[in-house]
């Protein structure tokens, strides 16, 4: 092996081909939103039109699922922010009995396949005769969003120098004042990033939701129904673009907020 | 309470370094400062309470349900302990579902290792500066972007009238495509109704989960070891096989935990792209929904947990958790 720093050709080709494999398919979603063909997935599209955006806007069955998704995502983000930050504050710098078990418990809802989380909640609702509602959806979403906020917040807590907290106390601030004026401003961008990711994750979640929604329809569930029984296929593409952008923009913002730090925004979904 | 309440305040403050209390906030702060365990408990009670009640509670509900059974005549859940629901898993039709799911998970994991390796290796060893950020974003964005949108994109690609058929016709390779589709078991009438299609979509959706831990473990391989290997006369391939691969193995196993477990628990992808033969996820979903057999659905959901526990035990012995 030569020790020069040029990658072998086959490696470069493999890496670029792999990245293209990860990115090209999404582009087709955009292309098919403009096709004139609403019955099949014919490629290349027989013609191009922008009418489907207007059609989607006027479809009454899209709006309620959109509102429900936004509501659930917003509420579960708030809950995850509170619960995740509390966890992170407790776990960042301390060592205590059972600490490893607690961190496993925080990660478990996202480490186990969604179907297990979903089926578990479904079993519990069945045993306790809890009827499906927005709250049942929210219970599932908040549970797996905690880890996202936790990951971002705990990384920031570890990076936060302990001396500024001590300085604040030396200057006469009590614990609450220190939290309000010293810790919170330092935590801000990490929490914003975590909240963005939690929102994106919740807005897009479908597997757990199908088990906890009953007859209600979130936007991903609406999309899933359209995928199984398509009608006006390009409208589904328009909605797919909305979902894609609604999750993509927060992710990008989260990346720029946490860039340069030791923490990574994702680190395993 | 207030500063003015104390008569010789100025002299007192000058004499001792401890400031007088200014209210309830100060008193609570002081209490928590003196008893760090109290602070810890106050912080943890809400999130832990939530996770224990909602999540662990549900998981135990799942276990509990799996030991119930369904009354064949009335269709009601019989709430008595029985192992008969688990025994049903061993019926040939249900065993087929389990074996099919495990085989698919293994195939997806192998495919992910092969495709992820060049990306992870390039990003870990050769990408610098802007390229490094580009590779990072290039893996992160597909990981986080909408799951359903990704699956939908592949439905468009694999459809009989879609872009793959168009491309193979264009380069005159439609005979190859038809040959592949004519293969027994993995073939089908079109890519979107065959196991090949299901495999491709799984591979696409879970690939980033393999790349990230693999890249992390490759970044920890010291340059000096590669130089030593070269000094001792090893060819590139020998270095790859005897130095890099064993050192990257924990990362590969860590990634395989994700690809394996996620494939096993998914029911959307085989429902949208694939043949009508079911996977564990689909069985769980149909049993709890239309069939109304929650106990059997719960027993089916326990299968991936058991398989993953076995898998994790093996992975732990190989040191995969250091790479997470």
Which pLDDT belongs to residue A4? 54
How many alpha carbons lie under 13 Å from residue A131 in its C-beta half-sphere? 3
CA distance B183 to chain A (A): 24
- Residues B228 and A17: their CA atoms lie apart, in Å, by 31
- Per the CB < 8 Å rule, is A22 touching B138? yes
Question: Looking at the domain assignment, is residue A19 inside a domain?
Answer: no
**pLDDT of the residue at B14:** 52
Domain range summary for chain B, segments of one domain joined by +? 23-55, 91-323
Domain count, chain A: 1
In sequence order, what are the beta bridge partners of B69? B78
Under 8 Å between Cβ of A144 and A109 = yes
Q: Is the ipTM of this complex over 0.90?
A: no
What is the residue-level pLDDT of chain B in tens, covering all 324 positions? 444 445 555 555 455 566 677 788 888 888 888 888 888 888 889 999 999 999 999 999 988 989 988 887 877 888 888 888 899 899 999 999 999 999 999 999 999 999 999 999 999 888 888 888 888 888 888 888 888 889 989 988 888 888 888 888 888 878 888 888 888 878 777 888 889 999 999 999 999 999 988 998 898 888 888 889 989 988 888 888 888 988 888 889 888 988 998 899 888 999 889 888 889 999 998 888 877 888 999 999 999 989 988 888 887 777 666 545
Count of H helices and E strands in chain B?
17, 2
Q: What CATH number did the domain enclosing A129 receive?
A: 1.10.3720.10
- pLDDT recorded at residue A81: 95
CA–CA dist A25, B204 (Å, integer): 9
Residue A76: how many CA atoms within 13 Å on its side-chain side?
32
- Tell if the CB–CB gap between B64 and A269 is shorter than 8 Å: no
Beta bridge partners of B77: B70
User: What stretch of H or E contains B78?
Assistant: strand B77-78
Q: Contact at 8 Å (CB) between A206 and A221?
A: yes
- A233 part of a folded domain: yes
Place of tokens 């935990």: B257
CA distance B204 to A205: 18
Q: Which of A133-137, A182-186, B4-8, B71-75 has the lowest mean pLDDT?
A: B4-8
Residues in B closer than 8 angstroms to A2, CB to CB, are 230
A229: left (phi over 0), alpha (psi -120 to 50) or beta: beta
Q: Is the Cβ of B266 closer than 8 Å to some Cβ of chain A? A: yes
Question: Given this model, what pLDDT does residue A262 score?
Answer: 43
User: The domain containing residue A144 runs over which residues?
Assistant: 59-258
CA B244/CA B221 separation, integer angstroms: 7
Kindly report, residue by residue over A74-129, the tens digit of the pLDDT.
999 999 999 999 999 888 877 788 787 888 888 888 778 888 889 899 889 888 88
Give me B144's structure tokens. 């986080």
* In the predicted structure, residue A62 carries a pLDDT above the cut 80: yes
Q: What average pLDDT score do residues A120-148 get?
A: 90
CB contact, 8 Å: B33 with chain A?
yes
Q: DSSP of B179-203, one letter per residue?
A: HHHTSTTT--SSGGGSHHHHHHHHH
Nearest one of B83, B123, B147, B185 to A7, comparing CA atoms: B123
Which chain A residue shows the shortest CA-CA distance from B238?
A1
Question: What is the residue whose two structure tokens read 């969604």?
Answer: A114
Asked if A227 has any chain B CB less than 8 Å from its own CB, the reply is yes
Total-model pTM? 0.84
A268 contacts chain B (CB < 8 A): yes
Rounded distance between C-alpha atoms, residue B203 and residue B108, angstroms: 5
Nearest-neighbour CA in chain A from B167: distance (Å) = 9
Q: Rounded CA gap, B323 and A73, in Å?
A: 32
The alpha-carbon radius of gyration of chain B (Å, integer) is 28
Closest CA to A209 of A223, A226, A192, A227: A223
Residue A269 pLDDT: 38
Q: Give me the pLDDT at residue B2, please.
A: 46
Find, among A136, A120, A211, the residue nearest to B58 by Cα.
A120
Tokens 């401003």 sit at which residue? Answer: A185
Does B85 touch chain A if contact means CB atoms closer than 8 Å? Answer: no
For B91-323, CATH number out of 1.10.3720.10, 3.40.50.620, 3.40.109.10, 3.40.605.10 equals 1.10.3720.10
- Identify which of B291, B204, B49, B159 has the alpha carbon closest to the alpha carbon of residue A22: B204
> Furthest-apart CA pair in chain A: how many Å?
73
């Amino acid at each position: 092996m030569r020790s020069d720093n040029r990658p072998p050709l086959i490696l470069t080709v493999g890496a670029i081909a792999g990245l293209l494999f990860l990115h090209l398919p999404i582009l087709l979603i955009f292309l098919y939103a403009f096709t004139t063909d609403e019955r099949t997935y014919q490629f290349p599209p027989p013609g191009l039109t922008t009418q489907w955006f207007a059609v989607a806007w006027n479809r009454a069955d899209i709006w309620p699922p959109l509102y429900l998704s936004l509501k659930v995502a917003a509420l579960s983000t708030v809950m995850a922010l509170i619960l995740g930050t509390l966890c992170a504050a407790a776990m960042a710098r301390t060592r205590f009995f059972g600490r490893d078990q607690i961190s496993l418990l925080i990660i478990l809802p996202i480490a186990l396949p969604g179907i297990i989380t979903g089926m578990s909640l479904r079993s519990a609702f069945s045993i306790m005769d809890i009827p499906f509602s927005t709250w049942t959806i929210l219970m599932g979403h908040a549970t797996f969003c905690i880890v996202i906020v936790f990951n971002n917040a705990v990384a920031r807590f570890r990076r936060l120098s302990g001396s500024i907290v001590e300085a604040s106390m030396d200057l006469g601030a009590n614990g609450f004042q220190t939290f309000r004026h010293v810790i919170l401003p330092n935590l801000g961008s990490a929490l914003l990033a975590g909240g963005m990711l939690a929102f994106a994750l919740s807005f897009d979640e479908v597997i757990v939701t199908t088990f906890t929604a009953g007859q209600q329809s979130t936007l991903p569930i609406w999309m899933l129904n359209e995928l199984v029984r398509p009608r006006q296929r390009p409208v589904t593409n328009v909605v797919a673009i909305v979902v894609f952008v609604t999750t993509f923009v927060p992710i990008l913002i989260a990346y720029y907020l946490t860039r340069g730090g030791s923490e990574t925004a994702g680190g395993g979904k | 309470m207030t500063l003015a309440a104390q008569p010789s305040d100025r002299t007192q403050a000058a004499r001792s370094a401890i400031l007088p209390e200014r209210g309830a906030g100060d008193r609570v702060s002081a209490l928590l400062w003196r008893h760090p365990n109290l602070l810890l408990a106050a912080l943890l009670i809400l999130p832990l309470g939530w996770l224990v009640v909602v999540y662990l509670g549900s998981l135990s509900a799942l276990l509990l349900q799996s030991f119930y059974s369904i009354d064949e005549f009335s269709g009601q859940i019989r709430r008595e302990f029985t192992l008969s629901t688990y025994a049903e898993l061993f019926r040939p039709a249900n065993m087929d579902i389990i074996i099919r799911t495990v085989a698919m998970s293994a195939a997806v994991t192998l495919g992910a290792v092969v495709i992820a390796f060049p990306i992870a290796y390039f990003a870990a060893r050769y990408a610098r500066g802007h390229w490094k950020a580009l590779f990072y974003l290039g893996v992160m964005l597909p990981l986080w972007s909408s799951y359903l949108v990704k699956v939908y994109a592949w439905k468009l690609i694999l459809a009989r009238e879609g872009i793959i058929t168009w491309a193979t016709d264009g380069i005159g390779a439609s005979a190859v495509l038809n040959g592949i589709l004519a293969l027994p078991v993995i073939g089908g009438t079109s890519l979107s109704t065959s196991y090949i299609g299901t495999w491709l979509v799984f591979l696409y959706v879970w690939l980033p989960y393999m790349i990230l831990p693999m890249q992390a473990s490759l970044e920890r391989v010291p340059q000096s070891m590669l130089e030593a290997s070269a000094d001792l006369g090893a060819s590139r391939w020998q270095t790859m096989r005897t130095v890099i691969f064993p050192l990257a193995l924990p990362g590969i196993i860590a990634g395989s935990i994700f690809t394996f477990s996620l494939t096993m628990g998914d029911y959307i992808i085989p429902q949208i792209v694939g043949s009508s033969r079911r996977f564990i996820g689909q069985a769980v979903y149909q049993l709890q929904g239309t069939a109304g057999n929650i106990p059997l659905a719960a027993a089916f959901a326990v299968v991936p947990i058991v398989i993953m526990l076995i898998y994790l035990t093996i992975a732990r012995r190989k040191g995969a958790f250091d790479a997470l």
